Amino acid sequence: MEDGNWTREAYPIPVIGVKGFCDIEVQPDHISVSTKLKRSTALNYSFVKFAEYDFEAYGVEDYLADFYHPGQTIEELKENIRACQEQEIGFSFSFPFDVNGQRMYEFVKLLRREGFYY
């Protein structure tokens, strides 16, 4: 922020696209996986299979709309989704920088089985 105004800065990061399912972003200190669910699917989904993962949920059209972050409950996530007009909900899952390839592969397969897409 500069003089009370946002300034755009570019920090290019490597991104691996897994066609149709997610983007895997290599951040300086962690790996993130970005994906989406339809609003109606997210409202009916239990998220039990993702309880062990750190993730955030946000708007796809309004990516500044924050629906969920670690520390909130799934019920709060659903309340926030119900209160929005977004048709798709974005999710960003965070992994340690040294996560192994097999774990990432299994995670992407889980996303596919559970109806996530990109």
Q: Where are the domains of the chain?
A: 24-113
* DSSP sequence for 24-66: EEE-SSEEEEEEEEEHHHHHH---GGGTTSEEEEEESSSTT-E
> Is 18's pLDDT higher than 70?
yes
d(CA 100, CA 115): 23
The per-type count for the chain, helices as H runs and strands as E runs, is 3, 6
pLDDT of res. 113:
96
Contacts of 57 (CB under 8 A, 6+ apart): 42, 66, 67, 68, 69, 77, 80, 81, 89, 90, 91
Q: Could you tell me what percent of the chain has a pLDDT over 90?
A: 86
- The Cα-based distances of 38 to 16, 28, 67, 77, 86 in angstroms read 22, 30, 14, 14, 9
Cα–Cα distance, 106 to 103 (Å, whole number): 5
Q: For residue 12, name the pLDDT band (cuts at 50, 70, 90).
A: confident
Averaged pLDDT for residues 47-54: 95
Specify the pLDDT at position 68: 98
- Averaged pLDDT for residues 56-84: 97
